[in-house]
Structure formats: structure tokens, C-alpha cells
Amino acid sequence: MVCGLLVLSLGLSTLRHVAAVKLKYDEALLTANNHLLQPISLLVVSDYCYKCLFQPLMTLQPAQSLQPTNRTVILRTQFKLTLHVVTEGGNGEPVCSWKQLYGEHGHYIISVQPNNGSVKCDNHVSKSPTNNLLPLLVAFVSLLCVWGLYYLTTYVYRRTCTQKLLKKVKKKADCEAEDEPDGSGSPGQTDLPKHRRLLSLDTFRGFSLTVMVFVNYGGGGYWFFQHAPWNGLTVADLVMPWFVFIIGTSVALAFSSMLKRGIHRSQLVRKLTWRTLVLMAIGVLFLNYGPADGPLSWRWARIPGVLQRLGVTYFVLALMHTFFSKPSLDLDESHQWIAAVRDIVVYWPEWIIIAALETVWLCLTFLLPVPGCPTGYLGPGGIGDDGLYPNCTGGAAGYIDKWLFGPNHIYNYPTCKELYKTTQPFDPEGALGTINSVVMAFFGLQAGKIILIYRKSPHQILCRLFIWSVLLGIISAILTKCTRDEGFIPINKNLWSLSFITTLSCFSFLLLALMFYVIDVRQWWGGQPFIYPGMNSILVYVGHSLLASYFPFNWEVRDWTTHYEFIAQDLLGAAIWVFVSYLLYKKTFFLKI
């Protein structure tokens, strides 16, 4: 009876303490009660952390006078956790072990107590978790309603009867206009330029940019809208590779058009050199600016970056294509086997260059000796790989960047820093990864060649885009063994690994084929609203980066307990840039470099 009252009073005091804790989103409470007469420790490791050392979570003193000791800690709920209970003076083996995905705002209690000479751990939930995906569902339904309302309004507006009614209200009768209203009658195409342009490519670019703005603003705080800690893929990992792929496709289409207009190759070299210098200057000088350090301070400036990576990628690819591009791609159809693969055969020198670049990447990655690290290391260092290589973050890629740029001029907050407890700087836009960025842009260039060569047969374009997607998907499956961490070359955005570019190129070919069919072939959709930021991409990218910390793109969040305000803030920021690009489109203002 007395023991029962003690446990009840302890439980009530614990609940009062727990109720006083204010949890943020993606947080849960874990209370541990120690009924043993010896100290215990709780160790934890995230299942997303590959081969990581267990980290101390809490230590509890022995129970006293039949009253257990207890402690409460806050747990993160993004990934499944493995917890061990170890006793002081034991052999280090856990007396209890369990794996669990803790839910947002849930309250969990673990009681460690003796059980006939052994130890028993009881888990139970004192407060059920909330559904942290509900704000995402609400946001998705809201966007769906807005999109549906837009198309319904557009459809009604373009109806003949609506046009007649509007003209009567304005008292500007025009019989011819009443019988044949402005536009084609299709709600998806009337606002688009009349010249021949691959609208699906602009839409693809705009879609990628819109997602990039959303995830750069925080993605509502959801982990899958942020970059993967090391290996693996999230939504945030998709957008920049899509941009790189689109660069290649745009180079193929633009250079073909300029060569047909009689522009000399030397002019192309001057143009691409100027564009590269401007992109890199914006990336290094403009986006690196910090008012606290002054505009001329280079003490902390990051030399690699997104625009720098895009600029170098564009320069290498465009320079190569300048020398080997063909003004005319029509071959004699009597050579059937050549005609079937002419998008590859005609450009054989480019394939040799790309194969040589990928060989350089493979040799440097797997053969370059790195002091203190195993040759060919692809891990994050820190507590990963059983803590054997704490200072080897990124292997050869990290070593080359520190040697080339210096540790103060590369990214000091890599995505692996929190989960893997790393201490070394590592830049995801570093020098070695740029080689594979060029290779991925070359796959985009290949897509552009297919569109140009088989432009008279959309069916062949779709088939070839799909075939490339399947082939690259098979290569990715082999390289990764269809796993996140156990493959020959895991998918890794930080390293821009070979499997990463084959996987993302697979997605890119598939998505471009889908948009090409829906927008350019069937003309079911005009690409709105994504086509607008797609035609002003550099302005939207630079603008959203510079104004990210200012209202209305950012404000002081009042409610940190859920994702609602965060996802509303980030969606609003992305929507504002889409609207701004729409207004610029209506004014026919397009910022070009």
C-alpha cells in the first residue's frame, strides 16, 4: 500500500513536471525512472546515422528508500531512434534495448526495475503524440483549391458569354470580338509567347526554382524538405541537380539556334565566358556579402557556392559544345543504324571528354591518398563508421577543397554536422563534385540533342527520353545495390557521387518527358504558374537569397509548437516570388546574363 502511494505520488509529480515543459515541433518527452539500486545510463543513436557510436542521453542515480530516481529529456522525432540502458559496473552490454519512432508532442515513460535477478524495462505512453503531417495535408489541400479556383476562373473568363458581359459593362461593343474572343479558348496557353519555344523546359526550370525557394526558406520545418544528413535523398536534394540538367538542355537548344542564325563560334566563346564570369561574381561577391564584416572582408568568405558551381558547369559544357556542335543534324536516312543512334554517334568527341572527366573523378575519389583517412573513403567522419575516422569528412573531396581553398573559405556547417557530430568543414559545392556536375549537365545536353534531332517525331523524343531514364535507373540500382548506405557508391548529394547523378538524371529525363508530352505535345497545360519564374530564374534566385530574412518572406514566429506557421511562412515566400515573376512576365521583363 505504501509502495503504491509512493509510486502514485512520484507519477503525479512527474506528470506535473512534464506538463510544464513546452515542446516545439518535432519534439517528444521521454521520462526514465530508475528502480535499481545502482546508477544507469541511457544511450541513443539515430537509425539514419550509419554505423554511428551510441551517444549518452541521460544518467540516473540509484533508487533511494524505495523511491525511484527519474529524469526527463527532450527527443527529436524526425528519425527512428535506438536506445540502450546500461548499468554502472556492468560489462558495457545493454540490459535493455529498443527501437522506436517517437511522435511529435508525445510523452513516453520508461521504468527500469529489477525482475528476479535480471532487469526489466517497461515502456508506456502517458500522452499520445499529435499528427505532425496534418499541417502539410492542410497546405496541400489549400494549394489544390487555389490552383483549381485559378483554372476555373480562367475558364469562365474566357467563355464567350463572359466576354460579352464584360464588354457590355464597359460599353465597348465589338461584334467581331464577341464572336471570337481573345485567346485560343484553352486556359493553359493564351498567356504564353507566340514564338516557338520549348515551354516544357521553362516549366521544368520554374518548377525546380519554386521548390528550391520553398526548401531554402525552411520547407515548413519538415526534415524531408531539408538536405539529407549524408547518404540518401530528400526533396531538397532534387532541385539543384534538376537545374544542372536544365543547363545542359538549354545549351543544346540555344547553341543550335545561334549557329543557324550565323553566329560565329568565337562569338559563342565570348558570350559563354562573360556569362560564367557574371554568375561567379554574383555568387562570390554579392551573395557572400556580410554587413558585419564589411564588403571587402575575405576572412570568412565562402569561395565555392551554388552559382559558382553552375557557372563552372556551364562554362565547361558550353565550351565543349561550342567546338563540337553541328549546325545541321539531319543525316541520310539510308544509313538506318546511324540514324537510330545519331544523337550519340555525331557527338562522339564529347562522349570521350565526358568519359575522361568521370575517370578523373573516380581516380581522385578512390585512389587519392588522404592523410589519416582510408583511401576511397566516402563517409561523413565524426561518430560515423564506429568513430574510426572522425576527421575524414568527405574523404578526397573534403581534402581537395581544404587544400585548394583553405578551411576558412569553404562551408563550415555541412548537413552531417548535427547528426554525425562532425567538426570538419565540408562544401557540397566543392571542386571534385563539380566534375560530376558537368557530367550531369551533359545528360541534359543529351536530352536537348534528342529534342533537336527528332523534332519532327514527338513519339521518338518521348521514347528516347524514357529509354535514357530506364538505363540510368538500372545503373543507379547496380551502384547502390538498391540501398541507402550499403552500395558500391551510395547516393550522396554532398559528394555529388556517380550514383547521385545517374539517379537524378533518371528522374530528370522522366520528368522532362512527362512535361514535354503534357505541355508541348498534347497542349493540355501551359505550364502556369511555374513557367513564369522559369523565364526569370536568375532574378528569382538572387532575389530570394538576398531578401530571405526580411518581411514578408520572414517574420517572428509566434507558435513554435507546430509546423502550421512555418509552412505558411515558407509557402507564402515562394508564392510571392511566383507572383513577382508573373508581373515581370506581363511587363515582358526578363533578366538575362
SS3 category, 231 = strand
DSSP symbol at 408? G
User: For residues 195 and 193, what is the distance between their CA atoms, to the nearest angstrom?
Assistant: 6
What pLDDT, on the 0 to 100 scale, is given for residue 241?
Answer: 94
C-alpha cell at 148: 483549381
Q: Element (H or E) spanning 567, and its range? A: helix 564-586
Alpha-carbon torsion (492, 498, 501, 504), positive or negative: negative
- Catalytic residue at 17? no
Q: By the 8 A CB rule, do 484 and 500 touch?
A: no
Alpha carbon distances (Å) from 318 to 55, 239, 267, 431: 49, 21, 12, 18
User: For residues 171 and 538, what is the distance between their CA atoms, to the nearest angstrom?
Assistant: 43
Residues of the chain with CATH 2.60.40: 2-127
Q: By the 8 A CB rule, do 239 and 211 touch?
A: yes
DSSP symbol at 219? G
| Whether this model's pTM surpasses 0.85 | yes
Query: What order do you get walking across the sheet with 96-100 strand by strand?
Result: 55-60, 40-46, 81-87, 96-100
80 closest CA partner among 104, 103, 101: 101
C-alpha cell at 485: 548506405
Rg (C-alpha) for the chain, rounded Å, is 29
Judging by DSSP bridges, how do beta strands 69-76 and 118-127 pair with one another?
A: unpaired
What pLDDT, on the 0 to 100 scale, is given for residue 163?
Answer: 67
SS3 category, 372 = coil
Q: Splitting the chain (593 residues) into consecutive groups of 10 residues, what average pLDDT does each group show? A: 38 50 88 90 93 92 85 92 86 86 93 85 90 92 87 76 67 44 37 60 94 93 93 93 94 86 85 90 71 58 88 94 76 55 82 95 95 93 92 94 90 91 92 95 94 88 94 96 93 95 96 94 88 91 87 88 92 94 90 81
- CA angle 82/488/304 to nearest 5° reads 85
User: For residues 442 and 247, what is the distance between their CA atoms, to the nearest angstrom?
Assistant: 9
Q: Element (H or E) spanning 574, and its range? A: helix 564-586
Q: Peptide bond before 552: cis, by omega within 30 degrees of 0?
A: yes
- CA angle 243/549/532 to nearest 5° reads 40
527 closest CA partner among 199, 148, 242, 105: 199
Of the residues 107, 227, 409, 563, only one is catalytic, namely: 227
What pLDDT, on the 0 to 100 scale, is given for residue 314?
Answer: 95
343 closest CA partner among 441, 452, 472: 452
Reading phi first (left if > 0) and then psi (alpha if -120 to 50, else beta), residue 496 is in left
Q: By the 8 A CB rule, do 30 and 72 touch?
A: yes
User: For residues 25 and 28, what is the distance between their CA atoms, to the nearest angstrom?
Assistant: 9
User: For residues 249 and 448, what is the distance between their CA atoms, to the nearest angstrom?
Assistant: 4
User: For residues 110 and 136, what is the distance between their CA atoms, to the nearest angstrom?
Assistant: 31
C-alpha cell at 188: 493553359
Find all residues with CB under 8 Å of 347, minimum gap 6, and list them.
324, 326, 449
User: For residues 268 and 110, what is the distance between their CA atoms, to the nearest angstrom?
Assistant: 68
What pLDDT, on the 0 to 100 scale, is given for residue 262?
Answer: 78
- CA angle 514/590/182 to nearest 5° reads 70
What pLDDT, on the 0 to 100 scale, is given for residue 15?
Answer: 47
Q: By the 8 A CB rule, do 377 and 370 touch?
A: yes
C-alpha cell at 285: 561577391
* Long-range pairs for 451-459: beta carbons < 8 A, 24 or more residues apart: 451/198, 451/249, 451/252, 451/253, 451/516, 452/252, 452/253, 452/256, 452/329, 453/329, 453/342, 453/343, 454/343, 458/516, 458/517, 458/520, 458/521
Burial of 66 (0-12, 13-18, 19+ CB in 10 A): exposed
Residue indicated by cell numbers 520545418: 221
CATH code for the part of the protein at 2-127: 2.60.40
What pLDDT, on the 0 to 100 scale, is given for residue 12?
Answer: 42
